[in-house]
């Protein structure tokens, strides 16, 4: 059965065209995908991303656990609220998922927002009880230490089950408690005017603090009617903005307040064209369990340098590290490049790319609304830069290799 | 529910055909089809002089979502194509039965038109499509 977010009826009432996305009934667009795309680039748009999975990690050895689980180094996150983007790898160095991890602090309790007794119907639909909680609780976790650190991870919806299984399996050895938070909804508000529009809805006492929030940092704030919000200055569009986590009983009120403030609802279609223009990978299309970060343009997220806690060992022993080092030494056979089609036409996932050193393929491909031409990611033999052509229905058209992002701050970079 | 012009005939694959003077048949895609596809971003049309065959693919329209083959409703020779769509494919979204036409065929066998659906039958077809 298809799962629904708490905003499902709101989307339908707005005339959204709904599609199945990773088992979720989600809005593709509300009339015109291209207009929604432009609204985010020029003003402010919002996306229901409540299908994404929020997982909280508690326990004295969390940091050590994340040092083992993630290819990026959580040690880079030095202040509470700071997030890192990372791949979670298997032993072969393949990408199980890409995710964001927030380093947070708490005085006591379960972390923010507090879990409420009796999960709602939607929460029940999202969580199967058997994997809602894995691992075991360290006694240290219950001690009355002043400020305990904890972590919040946001993973992809389509990979939820395998992610929770993998995280739970790895967490057991560290005594880390893994708690899914299906009762939390998430709304991404993105665009040059997104932050101002959100700030206007916050409690006056919180505005200044949220206004000063640095990029890739999260904090707590009170929204309309004092509803509790977890606000992060992150996103998946290349625009400034916030991703807001809110208890689902407040999600519709928040969405309506944002709409009243002039934030335009945007669907998954616009989300895809925006993220590709911004040069961001999509799990399942640009990388998967058989692709290493080296082959997916994600080398910048792999921290091979030693982490603070085990510098003397010469580096963190994160899962997949040995395989990555082996591939580096042997030579990475293929890599991800940004490509532009100067001719008319559209790049699509799976199209064959012909290069002088062998065939490759289009991974993500779209018609870019900002640029008015087709752009994409291609996986090609390492070093192939010239003489690339794409096979579109039997016709071979030239591709230009470009640095990405393709679009930054609403302007072309190519 | 959109209004379907009464002078059109349809294929199940959502192309429309309008018989004009001298046995010429103008072809486009239905309003329902453009709605299903979403914003159109690219159109690949046949060339004037090309021979097309009823039921065979002879053009492609691409939306933000997907590429779709266009099947000729009648056989014959292409005598005109809508070149304006190259720069403004969104015209199909805006006016599927008018300025968003794709091409004109000089029909070799007008009997083929009899196999197409009338407006009412097509309306029924798409209603069933929408469960």
Domain boundaries defined on chain A: 8-50+184-277, 53-180
Interface confidence: ipTM more than 0.95:
no
Query: How many C-beta neighbours within 10 Å does residue A203 have?
Result: 15
Distance CA B73, CA B10 (A): 8
* Average pLDDT score over residue span A165-193: 97
Closest-CA distance, B64 to chain A, in angstroms, reads: 7
Of B126, B86, B102, give the one whose Cα is nearest residue B18.
B102
Mean pLDDT calculated for residue range A292-320: 80
Task: Lowest mean pLDDT of A68-72, A128-132, A322-326, name the range.
Answer: A128-132
Q: How many degrees, rounded to 5, is the angle at CA A314 between CA A310 and CA A320?
A: 90
Contact (CB<8Å) B65/A28: yes
pLDDT for the residue A108:
43
Tokens 């208890």 found at: A247
Q: What span, in angstroms and rounded, lies between the C-alpha atoms of B29 and B68?
A: 11
| B49-67 b/e (C-beta count within 10 Å ≥ 16 → b) | ebebebeeebbbbbbbbeb
* 3-state secondary structure at position B107: strand
C-alpha A206/C-alpha A197 separation (Å) is 14
Q: Is the pLDDT of residue A381 over 80?
A: yes
Q: Inform me whether the pLDDT recorded for A106 exceeds 90.
A: no
Residue A314 is predicted with a pLDDT of: 57
Cβ contact (<8 Å) for A34 and B67? no
- Would you call A17 and B64 a contact, using CB atoms and an 8 Å cutoff? no
pLDDT at A112: 56
Distance, CA of B81 to CA of B50 (rounded, Å): 11
φ, ψ at A82 (rounded to 5°): -75, 135
Window A:50-79, CB contacts with B under 8 Å: none
A271 interfacial to chain B (CB closer than 8 Å):
no
CATH code that applies to domain A53-180: 3.30.70.1400
User: Residue ranges per domain, chain B?
Assistant: 9-107
Interface with chain A: mutation pick from B64, B89, B91, B131, highest number of A CBs within 10 Å: B64
pLDDT of residue B128: 85
Tell me what pLDDT residue B32 has. 95
Residue with tokens 């290069």: A355
- Chain B contact present for A373, CB below 8 A: no
Mean pLDDT score across all residues of chain A: 90
Chain B positions touching A366 (Cβ under 8 A) are 64
Fold of B9-107: OB fold (Dihydrolipoamide Acetyltransferase, E2P) (2.40.50)
What's the pLDDT at A313?
54
Average pLDDT, chain B: 94
At residue A310, the pLDDT reads: 53
A8-50+184-277 against A53-180: fold identical: no
Q: In this model, does residue A306 exceed pLDDT 70?
A: no
A362 interface with B at CB cutoff 8 Å: no
Choose among B41, B60, B93: nearest Cβ to A367: B41
Euclidean distance between CA atoms A242 and A117, whole angstroms:
28
Q: In sequence order, what are the residues at sequence separation of 6 or more whose Cβ sits closer than 8 angstroms to the Cβ of residue A250? A: A185, A223, A225, A227, A228
| Over residues A333-339, mean pLDDT | 98
The Cα of B92 is separated from the nearest Cα of chain A by a number of Å equal to 13
Q: Do A393 and B60 touch (CB under 8 A)?
A: yes
Measuring CA to CA, how many Å separate B108 from each of A189, A381, B28, B49?
56, 50, 18, 13
CATH architecture type of domain A8-50+184-277: 2-Layer Sandwich (3.30)
Instruction: Please state the φ and ψ torsions of residue A226, each to the nearest 5 degrees.
Output: 65, 20
Look at chain A and count its residues.
414
State yes or no: pLDDT of A118 exceeds 60. Answer: no
A411 touches chain B (CB under 8 A): no
Does residue A354 have a pLDDT over 70?
A: yes
Query: What whole-number distance in Å separates Cα of residue B50 and Cα of residue B102?
Result: 14
Measured distance CA(A4)–CA(A81) in Å, rounded: 29
| A276/chain B closest Cα distance in angstroms | 13
Residue A410 banded pLDDT, cuts 50, 70, 90: confident
In this structure, are residues A301 and A85 in contact, taking their beta carbons and an 8 Å threshold?
Answer: yes
Provide, as residue numbers in chain A, all residues whose Cβ is less than 8 Å from the Cβ of B66: 348
Q: Calculate how close chain B gets to A32, using CA atoms only, in Å.
A: 6
- Region label for A242, one of left (φ > 0), alpha (ψ between -120 and 50) or beta (otherwise): beta
Cα–Cα distances in Å, from A98 out to A95, A218, A282, A301? Answer: 7, 19, 9, 10
- For the record, the structure tokens of A58 come out as 């508690």
DSSP structure class, residue B46: P
How high is the pLDDT of residue A204? 97
Test B38 with A348 for CB contact under 8 angstroms.
no
pLDDT score of B61 more than 70: yes
């Amino acid at each position: 059965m298809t799962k629904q977010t708490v905003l499902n009826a709101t989307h339908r009432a707005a005339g959204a065209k709904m599609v199945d996305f990773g088992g979720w009934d989600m809005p593709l667009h509300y009339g015109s995908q291209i207009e929604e795309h432009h609204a985010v680039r020029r003003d402010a748009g919002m996306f229901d991303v409540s299908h994404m999975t929020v997982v909280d990690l508690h326990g004295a050895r969390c940091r050590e656990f994340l040092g083992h689980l993630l290819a990026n180094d959580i040690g880079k996150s030095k202040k509470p609220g700071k997030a890192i983007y990372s791949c979670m790898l298997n032993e072969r160095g393949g990408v199980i998922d890409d995710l964001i991890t927030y380093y947070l602090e708490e005085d006591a309790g379960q972390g923010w927002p507090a879990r409420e007794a009796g999960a709602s119907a939607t929460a029940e639909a999202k969580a199967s009880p058997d994997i809602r909680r894995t691992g075991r609780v360290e006694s240290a976790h219950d001690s009355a230490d002043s400020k305990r650190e904890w972590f919040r991870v946001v993973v992809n919806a389509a990979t939820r089950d395998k992610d929770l299984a993998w995280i739970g399996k790895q967490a057991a050895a560290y005594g880390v408690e893994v708690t899914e938070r299906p009762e939390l909804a998430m709304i991404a508000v993105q665009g040059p005017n997104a932050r101002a529009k959100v700030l206007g809805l916050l409690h006056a006492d919180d505005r200044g603090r949220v206004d000063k929030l640095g990029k890739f940092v999260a904090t707590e704030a009170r929204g309309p009617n004092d509803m509790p919000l977890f606000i992060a200055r992150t996103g998946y569009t290349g625009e400034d903005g916030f991703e807001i986590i809110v208890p689902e009983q407040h999600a519709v009120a928040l969405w309506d307040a944002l709409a009243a403030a002039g934030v335009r609802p945007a669907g998954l279609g616009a989300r895809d064209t925006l993220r590709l223009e911004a040069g961001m990978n999509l799990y399942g299309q640009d990388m998967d369990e058989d692709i290493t970060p080296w082959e997916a343009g994600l080398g910048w997220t792999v921290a091979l340098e030693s982490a603070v806690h085990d510098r003397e060992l010469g580096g963190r022993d994160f899962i997949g590290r040995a395989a990555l080092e082996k591939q580096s030494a042997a030579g990475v056979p293929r890599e991800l490049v940004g490509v532009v089609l100067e001719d008319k036409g559209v790049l699509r996932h799976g199209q064959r790319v012909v290069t002088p050193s062998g065939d490759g393929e289009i991974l993500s491909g779209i018609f870019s609304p900002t640029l008015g031409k087709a752009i994409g990611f291609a996986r090609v033999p390492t070093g192939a830069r010239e003489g690339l052509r794409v096979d579109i229905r039997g016709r071979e058209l030239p591709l230009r290799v470009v640095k990405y992002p393709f679009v930054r701050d609403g302007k072309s970079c190519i | 529910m959109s209004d379907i012009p009464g002078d059109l005939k349809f294929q199940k694959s959502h192309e429309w055909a309008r018989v004009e003077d001298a046995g010429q048949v103008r072809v486009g895609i239905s309003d329902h089809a453009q709605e299903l596809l979403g914003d159109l971003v690219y159109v690949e049309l046949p060339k004037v002089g090309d021979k097309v065959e009823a039921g065979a693919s002879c053009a492609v329209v691409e939306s933000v979502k997907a590429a779709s083959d266009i099947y000729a409703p009648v056989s014959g020779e292409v005598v005109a194509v809508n070149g304006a769509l190259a720069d403004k494919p969104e015209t199909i979204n805006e006016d599927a039965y008018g300025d968003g036409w794709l091409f004109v065929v000089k029909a070799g066998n007008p009997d083929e038109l009899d196999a197409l659906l009338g407006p009412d039958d097509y309306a029924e077809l798409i209603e069933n499509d929408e469960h």
